Chain A
Amino acid sequence: MIAAVEFQTISRRFGALLALSDISFQIEQGEFFGLLGPNGAGKTTLISVLGGLIKPDCGTARVMGHDVIHDYLSARQNLGLVPQELVYDPFFTVRETLRLQAGYFGLRRIDDWIDEILHYLGLTDKADHNMRILSGGMKRRVLVAQALVHKPPVIVLDEPTAGVDVELRHALWSFIGKLNRAGHTILLTTHYLEEAEALCTRIAMLKNGKVVALDTKDHLLSRFERITARLYAERLPALWQEREHRREGGAFLIDLARFEDMELLLAALREENIAIDRLQLEGTDLEQVFLKLTGNDAPQTTETTHAK
């Protein structure tokens, strides 16, 4: 089967900055793929290459087998892209915007489909409002609607939930999930790791224009699997005090390689008669994998903190 999206040795330089460096990977049809990375990692540049908005210095990109430069008409017909910036044309209403967008793809008289999209995205009562007066969340929905108007098999969403309230974020997730189940290939860029963890089956992580990880979500998580015990107690057992641990609030954080280590810890506590006020076990989440791979060990400097 032809790959839905294919990047082959894509590089792109902006002046002194190497924005993309030798990027190669494929996304199969029907996948829900996450493209993760900190700000400035090259995510938007990479999908701009896919949309034909930016030319790569070298390498090729394909959408459903169509080269985005040499066969751009077919490539673009197969791609729906939701840009990250909240852009809109202030001259038109929501319906006009969607009709025009359909027209750009050679589609006319498709009001039934437009009504359907408006309904799914909760925009029906805004259809005849001018774009200018819509709230940010509503404008975001219109951007999604615009990307869907020509029913593309491949849908790219560039941080669709940036600056979006919790309610709309969940509505968008469920909508995108529905599209994926209906057979659309989804490429989602995000720095909300919670989002990638909840939705994506496969993930690429970008850092400084390079792919630093490319795997299924489950593999990525298991590669870095570890269990952290969060223990609230007066002190640690004598033997365990020599082991590596951290303090956070009133808790001791102890990394355990295996679950069996938990029994040892409990036994040691019992032996020394240390009362346990509270004990929590925490598994690996994508955020930890992400921080490890992108080398940002200070969570407060990434925007991942408010995803929690």
Chain B
Amino acid sequence: MQNERAQGWRALLYKEVLRFCHVGTQTIAAPVLTALLYLLIFSHVLESRVLVFGGQIAYTTFLVPGLIMMSVLQNAFANTSSSLIQSRIVGNMVFFLLAPITPWGFFAAYTLAGVLRGVMVGVGVWLAATLLFTPALWQPVAPLWSLIFLFLGSALLAMLGIIAGLWSEKFDHLATFQNFIIVPMTFLSGVFYSVQTLPDFWIKVSHLNPFFYMIDGFRYGFFGIADVSPWISLMVVGVATLFTTWTTWRLIASGWKLRP
């Protein structure tokens, strides 16, 4: 009995995965397509005009890891936040709130489902981009670095999605969170350019953005070159992840918005 009980969170994880798989065109295929469109347009327009890392890497090649990571982050966030706000508005959260699932179980199930969706979209973008545009990226130079940032970044955004999903009272609130925080932070994190090419002031601003480190660290895994050392990125992203984990955990354990 005790053992069976501890399994409840797995069903919740399964539910979350089944949910986004049932609408896979919208949750996996569409973001992959969006990333490919960015790639197609930006690479076509900018390939011969932008120099990155002193010309060591072609612009299109440079662009791909950033686009992968941007898609990963946005989808990890979208998964947890939209699932939670829908459940809260529809009221079907009651089904698992009545079940013997611990706060840790709830936390783990939602975060992992967000990570999984982020990773699936990321792998989709990587495969498609590699096949269609940049075969060189088939073999990253230091894949372990990319994997670490892939996992930390998607977990961090999945947790932010939980916070946003709990905080929002309606879809409007969630859209505000997404459009005014998540999207600008990901776009301004050096996805489309190396921040070294920016004026001094904007370099400094970029360095305050934790998303910059996720993308820069992830990119390091592909090229072995980055704007800052991957160790610095790891430290910043690690601390941000720990802080977000603690905050999310506290909110869930306290029953905030879940068990008033």
Is A261 engaged at the interface, CB distance under 8 Å to the other chain?
Answer: no
- Interface: A224 (CB within 8 A): no
Q: A76-B99, A106-B6 are in contact. Are A100 and B15 (CB under 8 A)?
A: yes
A104 in complex: contacting residue of B23, B95, B255, CB < 8 Å: B95
| B216 → chain A closest CB, angstroms | 36
Interface readout for B52-67 with A: 1 if CB under 8 Å, 0 if not?
A: 0000000000000000
Please give me the residue from chain A that is nearest to B99 by CB atom: A104
Asked if B100 contacts A77 (CB within 8 A), the reply is yes
Complex CA gap A101/B11 in Å reads 8
Across the A-B interface, the 10 shortest Cβ-Cβ residue pairs? A103-B11, A106-B4, A104-B99, A87-B91, A73-B100, A106-B7, A76-B100, A89-B92, A87-B92, A106-B5
Mark interface residues in B1-15 (1 if CB within 8 Å of A CB, else 0). Answer: 101111110111011
Whether A105 and B91, one on each chain, are in contact in the complex, defined by CB atoms closer than 8 angstroms, is no
Give Cα A107–Cα B92 distance, bound, in whole angstroms: 20
* Among candidates B6, B23, B259, residue contacting A53 with C-beta atoms closer than 8 Å: B259
Closest residue of B by beta carbon distance from A105: B99
Interface string of B101-136 (1 = CB under 8 A from A): 110000000000000000000000000000000000
Mark interface residues in A78-112 (1 if CB within 8 Å of B CB, else 0): 01010101011111100010001111111110000
Query: Can you report 19 residue pairs joining A to B where beta carbons are below 8 Å apart?
Result: A52-B97, A53-B94, A54-B260, A55-B260, A73-B102, A79-B98, A85-B91, A87-B94, A89-B90, A89-B92, A90-B90, A101-B95, A101-B99, A103-B14, A104-B8, A104-B99, A105-B4, A106-B5, A107-B4
Are B5's CB and A77's CB within 8 A?
A: yes
Q: For B23, give the chain A residue with the smallest CB separation.
A: A91
Tell whether, in the assembled complex, residue A52 and residue B5 are in contact, meaning their CB atoms are under 8 Å apart.
no
Known A89-B92, A91-B19, A92-B18: A103·B255 in contact at CB below 8 Å: no
CB of A53 within 8 A of CB of B91, answer no
Q: Distance in Å from the Cβ of A178 to the closest Cβ of chain B?
A: 23
**A104 with B259: CB separation less than 8 A:** no
**B22 within 8 Å of A by Cβ?**
yes
Give A230 Cβ to nearest chain B Cβ, in Å. 45
Given contacts A106-B4, A106-B6, contact A52 B98 (CB under 8 A): yes
The answer to whether A51 touches B98 (Cβ under 8 A) is yes
User: In whole angstroms, how far apart are the Cα atoms of A106 and B95 in the complex?
Assistant: 14
- Which residues does A use to contact B, with CB under 8 Å? 51-55, 72-74, 76-77, 79, 81, 83, 85, 87-92, 96, 100-108, 146
Q: How far in angstroms is the closest Cβ of chain B from A28?
A: 23
Q: Give the residues in chain B near A107, CB-CB below 8 Å.
A: 4
Q: Tally A-B pairs: CB < 8 A.
A: 90
Cβ of B96 to closest chain A Cβ, rounded Å: 5
B100 contacts across to A, CB distance below 8 A: 72-74, 76-77, 104-106
B12 closest partner in A (C-beta): A104
Q: Which residues of A contact B91 (CB under 8 A)?
A: 83, 85, 87
Size bin of chain B's contact surface: 20 to 34
State the CA gap A101–B1 with chains docked (Å): 16
The answer for the CA separation of A91 and B87 in the assembled complex, in Å, is 11
Query: What residues of B have a CB within 8 angstroms of the CB of A76 in the complex?
Result: 98-100
Q: From residue 80 to 96 of chain B, which have CB atoms closer than 8 A to chain A?
A: 87, 90-92, 94-96
**When chains A and B are docked, how far (Å) is the Cα of A183 from the Cα of B102?**
29
Question: In the complex the two chains form, is A100's CB within 8 Å of B14's CB?
Answer: yes
B7 and A103 within 8 A (CB)? yes
Contacts of B255 in A (CB 8 A): 55
Q: For A79, list chain B residues within 8 Å (CB).
A: 98
Residues on the B chain within 8 Å of A54, using CB: 259-260
Q: Which of A73, A79, A85, A102 has the most CB of B within 10 A?
A: A73
**B7 & A91 in contact (Cβ 8 Å cutoff):** no
Partner of B5, one of A53, A73, A91, A102: A73
- CB-nearest residue of chain B to A55: B259
Q: Is the CB of A52 within 8 A of B259?
A: yes
Residue of A53, A73, A101, A105 touching B97 (CB-CB under 8 A): A53
B17 to chain A, nearest CB (A): 11
Which A residues are in CB contact (< 8 Å) with B102? 73
Knowing that A81-B98, A103-B12 touch, tell me 12 more A-B residue pairs with CB under 8 angstroms: A54-B259, A55-B255, A55-B259, A77-B1, A77-B5, A83-B94, A88-B92, A89-B15, A100-B14, A104-B11, A104-B100, A105-B4
**What is the CB-to-nearest-CB distance from B83 to chain A, in angstroms, rounded to a whole number?**
9
Q: Are A104 and B96 in contact (CB under 8 A)?
A: yes
User: Which residue of chain A has the shortest Cβ distance to B20 in the bound complex?
Assistant: A91
CA distance A79 to B98 in the complex (A): 8
A76 to B102, CA, bound (A): 11
Contacts of B6 in A (CB 8 A): 106
CA distance A91 to B92 in the complex (A): 11
A146 close to B259 (CB less than 8 A): no
> Are B95 and A146 in contact, CB atoms less than 8 angstroms apart?
yes
Q: Report the Cα distance A141→B11, complex, angstroms.
A: 22
The chain B residue with its CB closest to the CB of A131 is: B92
Q: How far is the CB of B106 from the nearest CB of chain A, in Å?
A: 11
Are B94 and A105 neighbours in the complex by a CB distance under 8 Å? no
Question: Once bound together, how far apart are the Cα atoms of A96 and B22, in whole Å?
Answer: 12
